[in-house]
Amino acid sequence: MRATSLSTTEKAGDNVVTQPDQVRPGVFNPWLHVSSLIENAGRLLGLADDMIQRIVTPERILEVAVPVRMDSGDIEMFTGWRIQHDTSRGPGKGGIRFHPSVSTDEIAALSADMSIKTAVVNIPYGGAKGGVKVDPERLSRGELERLTRRYAFSIAPMIGPDRDIPAPDINTDYHVMSWIMDTVSMLAGHNMPGVVTGKPLAIGGSSGHAGATSVGVTICATSILERLGRRADQQRVVIQGYGKVGAPLVSMLTARGMKVVGIADVHGAIHVPGGIDPEVMARHYAEANTVVGYPGADHVPADQLFTIPSDIAIPAALGGFITEDVANNLAASIVIEAANGPTTGDGAQVLASRNIPVIPDVVANAGGVVASYFEWAQDLQGFMWEHELFTARLEKTMNEAFSYIWQRSLDLNVTLREAAIAVGVERIAEATELRGLFP
């Protein structure tokens, strides 16, 4: 049994049939990477081959054309996807990203990651993901809204509070979620706040959602330091990415006593041996729109960020960055994956051979999907929780998930990544077995 790329598709009526695609040697394919992790976990658990194949195979793959009338009056065509990987444990859950790199394989891999992630933190969701292949920086606000609404219209038959609940991801935010919610509500003829999460408070959002992914990463960082007997105030941290996850992390980790000594964005990286001041960085970034040029910082090539002397490395940008070469030259002794799929298979093998513990993305950045679950539950109940209750439940869920994965890694004598994937696959397999096969 061997997974194939999903990049080449043939449409058959309303269905999309996946076909094998040639994968260039040496090119990281996120779908092949994730599917191989699931297959390996299934074999570790002793699952039958047919069960492993059911778990690996995405349930639905929708590819849509997204025509947009530009401000110039011309119509430009874009391509979008919504993929539901597994819904055996509940409605699909996963973000929507707008980025030039978006592809079938990328979205399929991210949807499978979400299936595992929701199972690992044990919330009643399956996994899904969506995206549009577009550079949103090229679009005006009006063009972005028209693209979002046309995309939402095209995927509307697949999404809903009891089917599939999108959320923000790379280059999407609460504005995009608001437009999606409004579009789907107009189509349904009634208000549907539960169709997306990550919304503004005024239309059914939750006060605890913003920064929840960063909170989860911080909880994981604190938890692993405690288990390794290391003091937080002696840890130097480097963070790749200063966006929705990376920026709050600077403040949160500093508040826990850690010292953020390096950070990178699309314009470059900086090294500040004495530690970055979160408030100074926030002001600098607001003015310069980049971390480069931070007062007193040494400029470092972006691809050399993880060679900076440090104790904890946190990739919080796009996937596939920690390759074999990066892993070999990594200075830190702990990796915490705040991004989705930041480590390639070869990179993971190198980190394991160097005995560098890695808290995988399906655990480390799960705070966001846990917060989305809470927001969705509140929308269905029509009752908003107090911020303190939201935060307490988020911390409890993340701590329980990390503790369980840590113990399973010891019991199975495998890495944290292998243990996390195994736990997710095990829970999906249990739900699949209990539900049986229709017809």
Q: What is the CATH number of the domain that holds 355?
A: 3.40.50.720
The rounded distance, in Å, linking the Cα atoms of 9 and 81 is 12
pLDDT at 9: 42
Whether 63 and 184 share a structural domain: yes
Q: How confident is the model at residue 16 (pLDDT cuts 50, 70, 90)?
A: very low
Residue 343 has pLDDT above 90, yes or no: yes
In a 13 Å sphere around the CA of 332, the CA atoms on its Cβ side amount to 29
Task: Report whether the peptide linkage leading into residue 124 is cis, meaning its omega lies within 30 degrees of zero.
Answer: no
Average pLDDT estimate for 60-64:
98
Residue 350 has pLDDT above 90, yes or no: yes
Whether 319 and 354 share a structural domain: yes
- Domain annotation covers residue 95: yes
**Those residues with Cβ within 8 angstroms of residue 353's Cβ, 6 or more apart along the chain or in another chain:** none
For residue 8, give the amino acid letter: T
Backbone angles phi, psi at 169, to 5 degrees: -150, -150
Number of domains in the chain: 2
- Domain annotation covers residue 369: no
Per-residue model confidence as pLDDT tens digits over 37-60: 999 999 999 999 999 999 999 999
Residue 287 has pLDDT above 80, yes or no: yes
pLDDT at 209: 81
Residue tagged active-site, from 117, 129, 133, 244: 129
- Domain annotation covers residue 40: yes
Q: Is 160 left (phi over 0), alpha (psi -120 to 50) or beta?
A: left
* Direct distance between the N- and C-terminal alpha carbons of the chain, in angstroms, rounded to an integer: 24
Whether 199 and 219 share a structural domain: no
Whether 66 and 177 share a structural domain: yes
pLDDT at 319: 84
Domain boundary (313, 340, 364) is at 364
Whether 261 and 147 share a structural domain: no
Highest mean pLDDT among 87-91, 202-206, 319-323, 379-383: 87-91
- Domain annotation covers residue 383: no
Whether 216 and 327 share a structural domain: yes
Whether 190 and 44 share a structural domain: yes
- Which tops the pLDDT comparison, 213 or 210? 213
- Domain annotation covers residue 389: no
The rounded distance, in Å, linking the Cα atoms of 175 and 92 is 21
Per-residue model confidence as pLDDT tens digits over 224-265: 999 999 999 999 999 999 998 999 999 999 999 999 999 999
The rounded distance, in Å, linking the Cα atoms of 204 and 198 is 9
Domain boundary (364, 379, 404) is at 364
The rounded distance, in Å, linking the Cα atoms of 103 and 105 is 5
Number of Cβ within 10 Å of residue 399's Cβ equals 15
Whether 222 and 109 share a structural domain: no
Whether 187 and 268 share a structural domain: no
Residue 119 has pLDDT above 90, yes or no: yes
- Domain annotation covers residue 373: no
Residue 8 has pLDDT above 70, yes or no: no
**Those residues with Cβ within 8 angstroms of residue 176's Cβ, 6 or more apart along the chain or in another chain:** 96, 98, 144, 148, 168
Contact 414, 399 (CB under 8 A): no
Per-residue model confidence as pLDDT tens digits over 138-188: 999 999 999 999 999 999 999 999 999 999 999 999 999 999 999 999 999
Domain boundary (160, 180, 203) is at 203
- Which tops the pLDDT comparison, 17 or 112? 112
Reported residue count of the chain is 439
Backbone angles phi, psi at 82, to 5 degrees: -140, 125
Whether 156 and 276 share a structural domain: no
Task: Supply the CATH number for residue 109's domain.
Answer: 3.40.50.10860
**Those residues with Cβ within 8 angstroms of residue 381's Cβ, 6 or more apart along the chain or in another chain:** none
Q: Which domain holds residue 148?
A: 8-203
pLDDT at 207: 82
Q: Give exposure, 328-351, as e/b (b: 16+ Cβ within 10 Å).
A: eebebbbbbbbbbbbbbbbbbebb
- Which of 23-27, 32-36, 164-168, 389-393 has the weakest average pLDDT? 23-27
Catalytic annotation present for 133: no
- Domain annotation covers residue 2: no
- Domain annotation covers residue 411: no
Whether 183 and 218 share a structural domain: no
pLDDT at 7: 60
Whether 184 and 36 share a structural domain: yes
